[in-house]
Amino acid sequence: MTSGQTAAELARVRADFPLLARTVRDGRPLVYLDSGATSQKPTVVLDAEREFYERHNAAVHRGAHQLAEEATEAFEGARETVARFLGADAGEVVFTKNGTEGLNLLAYGFSNASAPGALAGADEAWAQRLRLGPGDEIVVTEMEHHANLVPWQELCRRTGASLRWIGVTDEGYLTDPAEVIGERTKVVALTHVSNVLGTLNDLSPQSPVITAARAAGALVIVDACQSAPHLDITHLTAADSGVDALVFTGHKTLGPSGVGVLWARRGLLEALPPFLTGGSMIEIVRMEGSTWAPPPAKFEAGVPMAAQAVGLAAALEYLMDLGLDRAHAHDQELARHTLELLEQRPWVRVLGPGLDALADRVGCVAFVVDGAHPHDVGQVLDDSGIAVRTGHHCAWPLHRRLRVPASTRASFAIYTTHEEIDAFATALDRVPQIFGLGESA
């Protein structure tokens, strides 16, 4: 791994993010440690969206006039950029509203596969993997964001399949997947990085979860929303990866809100029935029935979010120009510094892998202060201009497993500084003072 950014490089990066210069709470400098919820946007992203609207705005894939041609070229160019970011083919990249919609697209596609004639003409090997019913099983993990849990719960309800899950240890790791994944498993859906624990799950081709899924012939679907801003994830789309589909979202990856990405193997996209229907995704329409366009258009009904896709492409170009290896190194430095400071505060209990397992952690540090509710901790930090996330972070079952009602989470991005982590720790020292928990460190 290369080293992270120098002070001068980091200063140049921060200058690209206008919002970071503002003040909050009566003139206090903003310390933004909530990038795991949504990242800030560099000027190149804001400019890309504005330029699209000012110079090229038209309905994509519609019209023969010049603006329509320019808009379509920009939109499809954005798809090419996403494909390069993923190390994939552009024909396997579907634009969605966000990661949640991408996961729902897959779940509803499985559900629609049971309709009469839905898989007519589909490759039988893929069709067989899409058919779900009583006796079949879908496997998730106990650390999933609700977006990668609730759609599969609902799919089980609609199809009669059963939901099973891989547990989480007290240290924040998955238990043995082979104890859950078996011959009845049709789908394994799991996060690459936990949005609470920061745990980086091993998804290499030789990993226990991929090995077990392959042995079962199950489809593997990955939530990469928390890993895409921090890591090179091209290994997940490699031909031998064992991963069949993944999603990530623009607003966590320096890009705009309202745009996300679903990547899936071409054979899966060709066989999967569509989730939304209407204009743009059709091939032939007659009053008696319709046929679908080839993927990815098959899954992009209606006028797409062209400006947002262009903005996302600018964000991914920005990350690639910076270097995802350097982004990861910077993230590791920030995590180390945060964990070291919290370790000095015995009244703080960190969730997930500790300093001795830093390589297993990405993007965030969540913690609890016994005797103070996380919402109160967040309010104390906010009074000092420190923006963090409090609550169950859309991972309610995980918090129940860890036997805590909620947690406070500090999450990082390429623009986060060591000085901001210091300011966070200093502000955190007010918590035991305010709530009478003993002397601060």
Q: Which residues are catalytic?
A: 394
Q: Is 30 exposed, middle or buried (0-12, 13-18, 19+ CB in 10 A)?
A: middle
Strands 93-96 and 348-351: unpaired
Whose tokens are 């964990």? That residue is 339
**Partner residues linked to 407 by β-bridges:** 391
Q: How far is CA 162 from CA 129, 132, 134, 187, 392, in A?
A: 15, 10, 7, 11, 25
Q: How wide is the angle at C-alpha 229 spanned by C-alphas 322 and 91, nearest 5°?
A: 95
First and final CA of the chain: distance in angstroms? Answer: 33
- Rounded Cα gap, residues 203 and 206, in angstroms: 8
For 194-216, letters b (16+ CB in 10 Å) and e give: bbbbbbbbebeeeebbbbbbeeb
Query: Cβ(403)–Cβ(410) under 8 Å?
Result: no
| Overall size of the chain counted in residues | 441
Whose tokens are 């919609």? That residue is 101
- Rounded Cα gap, residues 68 and 398, in angstroms: 47
**Partner residues linked to 222 by β-bridges:** 190, 246
> Measured on CA atoms in the order 68, 74, 78, 80, is the torsion positive or negative?
positive
- Rounded Cα gap, residues 343 and 349, in angstroms: 8
Rg (CA), the chain: 22
Strands 260-264 and 245-249: antiparallel
Element containing residue 245 per DSSP (H, E): strand 245-249
- Rounded Cα gap, residues 366 and 195, in angstroms: 9
